[in-house]
Chains A and B, each alone.
Chain A
C-alpha cells in the first residue's frame, strides 16, 4: 500500500545533541510537510517542500532545518534540541499545493523526548 513512513517512531535525545528524523513516501506526491504537535494541540506547520522548493514558516526556529534529497525522502534536523522541542513530529504529503493541499496524508509520527 502507498503510504508515508516515519522513522524512528520514538526518539530520545539529550539536551543539545543533534537529532535527525526521517520521512519517506511511496505516494509520489509533490509536497511534503513537517509539523510539530505538542500535547493536546493542533499540528503546527514548520515548513514544507514543493518538489525541491523549500518554504519555511516565519515562526519556525532556526534550530530546525530540513532536507529533501529526492521525491521520496525528507529529513528534519534539530541542531540543538531543547526541552521545549519535545513533541510529536508529523510528516505529511499532498499531491499538490493549493486547492489540493488540504488533502494530506500523514505518517504515524515520531515522538521526540529530550532529556
Chain B
C-alpha cells in the first residue's frame, strides 16, 4: 500500500523568494517519487523524479527535491520563485520495481506575488 500527503493546499510566496512545497509519503515498498507541475488548463509535466539513486534530485526550471527516508519526505524547493512558477504541483509515489499504479497527492497551488 502507498499514499502521499501534500501538507499545504495553497502556498503563496513573493517573487524572488524561496519556494518550499512539502510532501510526505507512505509505502510498503521502496518508493519511486515524482513531482509534476500543471499550469492552468494544461496537462501535467514531470519536474523531477527519484528512483533510488541520488537522494538530492535536480529537475527542470531550477527545482530540486531531497528524498529523506527517515522522515518519509520528498519536499520540493526552489531558491528563487519566478512569476511563471505559479501553477499546481502534484507529488506522486509509485513502487520502485514491480507492479503498482501511481498515487497522486491532492496538489499544492503555488501563488507567486509580484
Contacts and interface: CB of A to CB of B under 8 A. Distances in A.
Interface of A: 4, 6, 40-43, 45, 48, 88, 90, 92, 97-99, 101-109, 111
Interface of B: 32-34, 36, 41-46, 49, 51, 90, 92-102, 104-107, 109
Contacts of A105: 46
A72 B90 CA distance: 27
A40 B105 CA distance: 12
Contact of A103 (B46, B101, B106): B46
25 contacts: A6-B43, A41-B106, A41-B107, A42-B105, A42-B107, A43-B44, A45-B102, A48-B101, A90-B44, A92-B44, A98-B94, A98-B98, A99-B94, A99-B96, A99-B97, A99-B98, A101-B94, A101-B101, A102-B32, A102-B33, A102-B49, A102-B94, A103-B34, A106-B43, A107-B43
A3 to B, nearest CB: 10
A101 B49 CA distance: 12
Given A90-B44, A103-B46, A109-B41, A42 B106 contact: yes
Contacts of B36: 106
A106 B96 CA distance: 21
The 9 closest A-B pairs by CB, nearest first: A102-B94, A106-B43, A42-B104, A106-B44, A99-B97, A108-B43, A102-B102, A102-B32, A102-B34
